Structure 1
Amino acid sequence: MGFFVVCVVRETKTIIPDKVVKVLQTETSQFYEIFDTATNDQFEDCVVRVFLRKPPENWVYVEEGLEDIAETSIQESHQNSNAFELLMKNSQNIHLPELKKENTHRDLLYNDIIRLFQNKEVGWKNAKHNTIGKGFIERLTAALWYIDPHRTKFIARSLSLGELFNNLNQYQKDQHFNLFYHTGKHAKTNLNREKLEQLASSLELSVVQLWATSDNWEIIINKVFILISAMQKYAKNLEQINQVMKEIYISDSPARQPANDLKVYSIEPCQKINIKYQQLQDFLSNTNDYNEINLERFLPEDAMQRYHYIKSLQIRFLITLYCYYQSNYLGTINYIWKIPIDFEDRSETTQARVMAAIQEKLPQYFSQQMKK
């Protein structure tokens, strides 16, 4: 038989004080037998949580509650085992938080992280999976969920998000978790520096805790640190961009100037030209030397085709090409004009006047706000 000291507490009020309960040892003795004996079955309809300790040790939460086995079998008792030793041993087993009901794709991400941890055979002891563990997984879920629509931006900047997280189910299928961001008809938000820093700091609070120093967590924690570092670097980059834009906003000088963003060069005549340049060739045939022509009307709409059109430009005249780069969004302004084949007929003064005339036509952007 076994003897247990039982105390029943409802919220903060002691219902039954410390009481010694005797339970006969059977093959399947369970906590509910002890509880029923101590309470005379007066709490049958209540939700009961069970805690166990062997003084002077701390209380340990029993995950299975009243259904957990309280005593070992008779055969085990002959091997010098007892209920406390068995339960204290079980308390050292690792656990993970319960999976959520997948009502949203964010719940799916949360569950996928737990499954990933299951495959890596990691977890928490002493019921910490429901407190510390759950908090860590929720913070990791929040970070990955926020980054999910923008993963390609991190990859484009060579910022690794940790190879471990590429093994998540949706990423293995080359899909996203946050499908609404891509398919919903709503304004797409950019990454925010303050939000990235807040999520990174939140993760740091978890990975600097004592449990994270365990050897079995080493691989995962290293990958989380890589994720944190990538978030911090991206946030720093956003801060630098914001600072540059603030300086441009208050500056008295244009954000773009021909002195810094201009390219002018000559192209030798080509007797055999591609058919796509024939329209431009015919137009130039009817213009005078040093008469600047805006190329916009002759350029294809597709950005890649425009690039190759200018890069491989073929004309039967000696020409000068004037390219002024505005920005990633506004593109390049391109002018072209003929110059005489005979060197003695050329005029540097006229050439300079043409470029000055073009410069007068160029838009001036003093700030990002004015571009809008």
Structure 2
Amino acid sequence: MTIPFFDGHNDTLLRLLDAEGVDKERAFIEGSKTGHIDLKRARTAGMAGGFFAMFPPPLKTGQAAAGSPALSPDLPPELAWSDAMASTSGMASVLFRLERAGALAVCRNAGELRAAMARETLAAIFHIEGAETIDTEFRSLELLYAAGLRSIGITWSRANAFGTGVPFRHNVDPDIGPGLSDVGKELVRVCNGMGVMIDLSHLNAAGFRDVAAISSHPLVATHSNVHAISPHARNLTDWQLAAIAESKGIVGLNFATGFLRPDGKFVADTGLDVMVRHVDALVEALGEDGVALGSDFDGAMMPAVIGDVTGVPKLLQALLDKGYGEELVRKIALGNWLSMIERTIG
């Protein structure tokens, strides 16, 4: 039995953009031996679609990558709008070339998403991770929205004009740094009005509180885990989970090993049991309608037992083996994201 699933976060577009000397569309459509997602593997796994993130990477300043033992406890430097727009435009170009090639469909609402799935086409939601691509007068937001943007993570793990992210640090609380700027608060209001989902993953606690106070939409963290199990700054504390539950929001389980493990280590020797433990805690905190998947494929170290997108059915089977009914597993895999997209994007 293959259970279809929708993934709350992947960084596949950045991987493809960075692949030099490669026919990017062909590599995605025909499959490759690199990365975590391509079309062949997605179809084999039962992937119905996902949020395809456009993450403007840090400048090449020697900053260690997330999960590296040499990672600095400090936030990376802020990124200029021009640098963010250049990389985002590159990733958007890859996305739309894949759409023209028939590899996927960029979906602007739940109706288009359902239609894509009905014809067995990979459904993609245009998401940006870190709002550096948005200028403070929101002119580029209008342009990106017209292109298909429907989901924004206000920050990555750095500061920008709108708010401050959390550092990649273990055994710390996410309550680090200031809240949203005035223009950051206005960004939330504008996105609510446009039908653009706000993603709280990477945002610090003060910014989270500001979004919770301002937003008329359910609170969403597309790829975060439970701080009580893995006390990483990237994970959600009890009060944050309670706020998400009160808003009838959703959290997508992040597969990155350092955000799963209690010791915070980015090592592949990480079992399905700890992933199920996070799901158990999320279901307890958020209810059956508040839990989904947010893998972070192509952006983080995966448990060896998962490996790539073809490993997702192993997690779903582990939930069934734990005693989760098939109806609930199908909601976690797909139904809860579809419901959230209907309630926020339209």
TM-score above 0.5, yes or no: no
- Larger Rg, first or second structure (1 or 2): 1
For this structure pair, what is the TM-score category when the shorter chain's length is used for normalisation? under 0.3
* TM-score, normalised relative to structure 2: 0.18
Bigger helix fraction: 1
The structure whose RCO (Cα within 8 Å, separation 6+) is larger is 2
